Amino acid sequence: MLKIGISACFMYPDQERPVFGPKTLTYLENDMARYLTKIGVLPVLIPDIEDSLLHPLIDEMDGFVFQGGTDLAPEAYNEKPIGRWKGDPIRDKYELKLFDLALASKKPILAICRGMQLMNVYFGGTLYQDTDTQLEEVLTHRDADAYDFLYHDIQFTADKILEKIYKDDPNHRINSVHHQSVKALGKGLEILAESPNDGIIEAIGYTKAPEGWVMGVQWHPEFSDTLKETVINADTLYEFFLSQVRSLKSDQ
C-alpha cells in the first residue's frame, strides 16, 4: 500500500459554528480525497503536531501532496498586504516546515494551487497578491460563482515533463480557481506551463531533483470531473506522480 502524505487545510475556532466551535479543525477537501484514493493508495492527512511526532510520520510516507486552500500571507515572501488578502500565516508556517521535511526526504512531491504557490515561496519566489488588480490585460483566473466551471487554455513548455506526459491529450485547457499567482520565480525552479493569453505561470518544477519529481500545478486536477473532457485528463498527472512514487519504492 502506497502512503501519500497530504498537507492539511485549517479551519479556526468559530463560536458561531454548531459543532467544534472553540476548536481548530484540520481537513482534506472531499474532491481531493476522491482524486487521491486509488486501489493500493492510502492518502494520509498530516496534522500540525510537534516535531517529535511529525518526523517519524514523514518517514512512513511514500510521497506528498500539498493541497489548495486559503492564500499565503504576504509576509511569507517579505511583502505587506495590499488589500483584504491577509492569508493564513499559521498554515504557512506549518506547510513550509512540512515542505522542508518532504523535500529532505527525497520523495516525490505534487503541489496543487496554493501548494504550487507555497513551493515557489519556499524557494524564495514571490506572488501577485491579487492578479486581477496587479496586472493589466489578464484573464479572469478566479470567479466565485463559476468556481470550477471556469477554464482557459494552457501551453506546456517544450520538451519539459508536462508536455511529454500530455502529448496524446487532445485538450489544452485547464480549470482555474486562483486569484494569486507566481510573480518572481523561486531559485532552482523552472516553468513547465503558462497561460498563453496572459503569461501567468501555471506549472513549475524543481530542477535539482529528477524530472517531475518535485512539481507544482496552479490548476485543480481534483476538480476536473466538473468539466470532464473540456480540460486535460487529471488522472494523467496523478498516475505520473504515482509512477514516481512506485519507482522509489521499487529501489528500496
- Catalytic, 29? Answer no
CB count, 10 Å around CB of 19? 6
Out of 9, 95, 113, 202, pick the active-site residue: 113
User: What percent of the chain stands above pLDDT 70?
Assistant: 99
Selection from 51, 66, 159 nearest residue 121 by Cα: 66
Phi, psi dihedrals of residue 201, rounded to the nearest 5°: -70, 125
What's the confidence (pLDDT) of residue 251? 66
Q: Which residues of the chain have pLDDT under 70?
A: 250-252
The per-residue pLDDT for 247 is: 92
Q: What's the whole-number average pLDDT of the chain?
A: 95
**Interatomic CA distance for residues 199 and 187, integer angstroms:** 19
User: Of the residues 141, 178, 179, 220, which is catalytic?
Assistant: 220
Cβ neighbours around 185 below 10 Å, total: 16
Contacts 24+ apart (CB under 8 A), 57-60: 57/5, 58/5, 58/98, 58/101, 58/102, 58/105, 59/105, 60/3
What pLDDT does residue 252 have? 61
9 catalytic, yes or no? no
The pLDDT score that the predictor gives to residue 83 is 81
Instruction: Please write the tens of the pLDDT for every residue from 131-174.
Output: 988 998 898 889 888 899 999 999 999 999 999 999 999 889 99
Q: Look-up: residue for cell 523552472? A: 190
For residues 75-93, b (16+ Cβ closer than 10 Å) or e, as one string? Answer: ebbeeeeeeebebbeebbe
Non-local CB neighbours of 63 within 8 Å, separated by 6+ positions: 2, 4, 5, 107, 108, 109, 110, 241, 242, 244, 245, 248
| Residue 137: predicted pLDDT | 87
pLDDT for res 139: 87
Domains and CATH numbers, the chain: 2-251 (3.40.50.880)
Q: Is 113 a catalytic residue?
A: yes
C-alpha dihedral sign at 140, 143, 146, 149: positive
In the set 95, 194, 202, 222, the catalytic residue is 222
